Amino acid sequence: MIQEFLAGSLIYWLIAILFLLGIYGILDNNNFMKKLMAMNIMQVAVILFFLVLGQKSGGTLPIMIGHDNNVDLYINPLPHALMLTAIVVSLSTTGVALALLMRIQDHYGEIEEDDILRRMNK
């Protein structure tokens, strides 16, 4: 029972917690840089979710070596391919966000959200 839980659904619970932690971090932090880091944690949770979907115990690479094709042992490569794209998207989002943060820091001299909003609405 407990072993089944550990091997089966525990990882999904952990991923869900990680995802929600990321969202909580975005909501709770006042510093834009910390918000950005929380956003990255959230994206990592999504990536892990897809990778776990493609995983199976005792699985092997989906490559045909000689005539020994154990198709039923192959790990599904599609989630990995999808997440390669998602990692690139996450990287470019972070890049754009960092560029924006530099502009904000240049102009306002700080990256604390409540101060900046107060100065914006003046």
Partner 1 sequence: MREQLPALIVVVPLLAALASPLVAYFSTTLVRWLSIAAILVAHLSSIGSLVHALTQGTWHYHFGGWAPPWGIEYVIDPLGGVMAVLISFVSLVVVVYSGPFLKEYDWLKKGIYYALFTLLTTGLLGMVVTGDVFNFYVFLEVSSLTGYALIAAGGNRATVAAFRYLLIGTIGASFYLLGIGYLYAITGSLNMADLAEKIPLIIDSPVVLLAVVMFVVGLGTKMALFPLHGWQPDAYTYSHPAAAALIAGVMAKVPAYAVLRFFFFIIVGSTGPVQSALEVMGWLAAAGIIVGSIMAIAQKDFRRMLAYSSVAQIGYIVVGLAIGNTFGLIGAMLHFINHAIMKSCLFLVAGGVKFRTGEHAIEKYAELSRKMPLTMGAFLIAALSMVGLPPTAGFFSKWYLVLGALEAGKWPYVVVIIISSLLNAVYFFRIIENAYMKKASPPLADKASSTLELPLQMLVPIVVLGLGILVLGIFNEQLVSQVLQYAIPGGGR
Cβ-count burial of 75 within 10 angstroms (0-12 exposed, 13-18 middle, 19+ buried)? middle
Query: What minimum distance in Å lies between the beta carbon of 58 and partner 1?
Result: 20
Binding segment for partner 1 (CB under 8 A), chosen from 3-11, 57-65, 66-74, 99-107, is: 99-107
Any contact of residue 103 with partner 1 (CB under 8 A)?
A: yes
Q: Find, among 9, 8, 33, the residue nearest to 98 by Cα.
A: 33
Query: What would the two tokens of residue 73 be?
Result: 């042992």
Binding segment for partner 1 (CB under 8 A), chosen from 3-11, 31-39, 55-63, 64-72, is: 31-39
Any contact of residue 97 with partner 1 (CB under 8 A)?
A: yes
Q: Find, among 84, 83, 101, 81, the residue nearest to 37 by Cα.
A: 101
Any contact of residue 33 with partner 1 (CB under 8 A)?
A: no
